Amino acid sequence: MFIDEAKIRVKAGDGGNGCMAFRREKFVPRGGPSGGDGGRGGDVYMESTQRHNTLIHFRYNPEHKAQRGEHGMGSNCTGQDGRSITLQVPVGTALYDAETGELVHDFKEPDERIVIARGGRGGRGNQHFATSTHQAPREHELGRAGEERNFRLELKLLADVGLVGYPNAGKSTLISRISAARPKIADYPFTTLEPNLGVVTVGEEPEQQSFVVADVPGLIEGAHLGAGLGMQFLRHIERTRVLAHLVDVSDASGRPDPVEDFRVINNELASFAAASEHPLAKKPMIVVATKIDAANPEKLKKLAAHAKRRKLEFYAVSAVTGEGIEELKWVLARRVRPEAH
């Protein structure tokens, strides 16, 4: 199951209490105070890892608590520190404070590690309160409480290219043709219910290049208002370098105007950008006409003319026959890593 949002509650360990004790050994008539300090509470860490690609392990286990420090003991013995815990999240996870909405950290690289809740300090034993005029102190400190915080986790997949378009525009078929990804493909809308990633490789060794393509569930008009599957998956293409806008130019789409299809999806991208403060609609974009093996020539010509007016690169492909696929792969590689060309 693909889970890209979760809420968690973390509690760092409390510090152990300081001890009040006096030495009572034989032949030590005036032993004095000997209460040890409490141990420090364990911290809660969060670390990014490539071992996970979903937040499902937080969905059913939302509360996490580090061990408290042990109390101080006699003979000036300090209590043992509490064990810290480490929560692992996929690379691409954004951590937000649930109370304020503030971004705490964005895990963009593997093995990033931060403290999200600090353990409480151990209390001091009565040995620390002895003075020349107060030689038998009974004062001792309680341990400090560990931090307790609520967080919201949001996973944003790391990809170089994002595929957008109407349902059944051919996004899943295209990603299955250019990579080893095998998403569900069928002739009805919304067959893609969760994002898919595929690694695309072009060229031969030693000049071989690769990049990651993300296929998100299709959009429809009114997606920003919750129509269809809404826009909940668009966050997964926020980090992409370029968008490939796929438009079905066959009569099987059931929509007569491909330019209107292009306009509707762009408006939904703009609505998402306005709501999330991410300039998704301003990302570099290329227009890809799909299903040209069954294309309506008028629709193909109209879409190509519109792309030219918008000064957008235009390509026509057929995932069934393979026409235009290799050229598109090289174009995407060039747009993702222009310095390599």
Span 247-270, pLDDT tens digits: 999 888 778 898 998 998 888 788
Asked if 244 and 149 sit in the same domain, the reply is no
Domain tally for the chain? Answer: 2
Which pLDDT score is estimated for 273?
62
Q: Are residues 262 and 147 in the same domain?
A: no
Note whether 170 and 110 are same-domain residues.
Answer: no
320 and 173 housed in the same domain: yes
Residues 93 and 196 in one domain: no
- Looking at the fold, whether 21 and 142 belong to one and the same domain comes out as yes
Give the pTM.
0.74
Give the C-alpha separation, 169 to 167, whole Å: 5
Residue span of the structural domain in which 182 resides:
161-340
Same domain, 121 and 184: no
pLDDT of residue 307: 92
- pLDDT at 190 (0 to 100): 46
pLDDT for 279 equals 61
CATH number assigned to the domain comprising residue 305: 3.40.50.300
Does residue 244 share a domain with residue 333?
yes
Pair 190, 230: CB distance under 8 Å = no
73 Cβ contact list (under 8 Å, min separation 6)? 19, 21, 36, 79
8 pLDDT more than 80 = yes
The stretch 198-213 carries a mean pLDDT of 81
Range 65-81 burial, b when 16+ CB lie within 10 A, else e: bbbbbbbbbbebbbbbb
Return d(Cα 296, Cα 16) in angstroms, integer: 75
pLDDT exceeding 90 applies to what percent of the chain? 42
- Residue 130 and residue 59 share a domain: yes
pLDDT tens per residue across span 266-309: 887 887 765 555 566 678 889 999 999 888 899 999 999 999 99
- Residue 156 in contact with residue 23, Cβ under 8 Å? no
Q: Regarding predicted confidence, which is higher, 220 or 77?
A: 77
142, 224: one domain: no
d(CA 329, CA 42): 50
Q: Which amino acid is at 131?
A: T
Instruction: Using the predicted structure, report yes or no on whether residue 329 has a pLDDT greater than 70.
Output: yes
Q: What are the pLDDT digits (tens) for 21-63?
A: 998 877 777 778 999 999 999 999 999 998 888 888 898 899 9
Helix (H, G, I), strand (E, B) or coil at 281: helix
My answer on whether 269 and 285 are in the same domain is: yes
Q: Which of 103, 122, 155 is the last residue in one of the domains?
A: 155
The domain that contains 73 carries what CATH number?
2.70.210.12
Asked whether residue 243 falls in the same domain as residue 277, the answer is yes
